[in-house]
Amino acid sequence: MDMTSMLLLVFAALGIISSNTPVTVAMVFLLLLRVLNLNQAFPWLEKYGLTLGIIILTIGVMAPLASGKMSLQTIGESFLHWKSLLAIGVGLLVAYLGGRGATLMSTQPTVVAGLLIGTVLGVALFKGVPVGPLIAAGILSLLLGKS
């Protein structure tokens, strides 16, 4: 077995150990692409994978609005309460950091492994939630001074 496949297996194992299903599924999916010799998929995934993931995430976040579980009145009321206004501000900050993170991850792919390891360890050691690599990359870009 080649070193890349071994690394994917190690990340999958870390995903299992940390109960990080998205990491586990992603690593197994990528490993299957390698085993099935579907290498032509990798350039497409590298180019569009992050965008596709963000689209799916946005669909999941907006589903309560689309299903009617969140009314226009609820959205309007979010501008009247300080906690909701703070949530809007934090949402703006996180979106900004995510944008910086996406740029950093695409321009400096060497940081992706470190971000993934940090996220998996954060889930395993601190009972965190595996949503951090993009935001972590945004914070890293602030620390590195990269825009």
The per-residue pLDDT for 78 is: 80
Structure tokens at 60: 């999941």
pLDDT at 41: 95
CA-CA distance, 112 to 126, in Å (whole number)? 20
pTM score over 0.85: no
Say what the pLDDT of residue 1 is.
76
Residue 77 has pLDDT above 60, yes or no: yes
Residue 108 scores a pLDDT above 90? no
* pLDDT band at residue 36 using 50, 70 and 90 as cut-offs: very high
H-type alpha helices, 1-147 = 3-17, 21-35, 41-67, 72-77, 82-107, 110-126, 133-144
Burial class (CB in 10 A: 0-12, 13-18, 19+), 124: middle
> What digits encode the pLDDT tens for the residues 52-75?
988 998 899 899 989 999 888 888
Amino acid at 57: L
Backbone angles phi, psi at 130, to 5 degrees: -80, 60
Give yes or no for a contact between 84 and 76, defined as CB atoms under 8 angstroms apart: no
pLDDT of 28 over the 70 cut: yes
Q: What percent of the chain has pLDDT over 90?
A: 23
Distances (CA, A) of 14 to 9, 18, 24, 41: 9, 6, 8, 24
The type of residue at 89 is G
pLDDT greater than 90 at residue 87: no
Residue 130 is classified by DSSP as S
Mean pLDDT calculated for residue range 85-110: 86
pLDDT at residue number 99 = 85
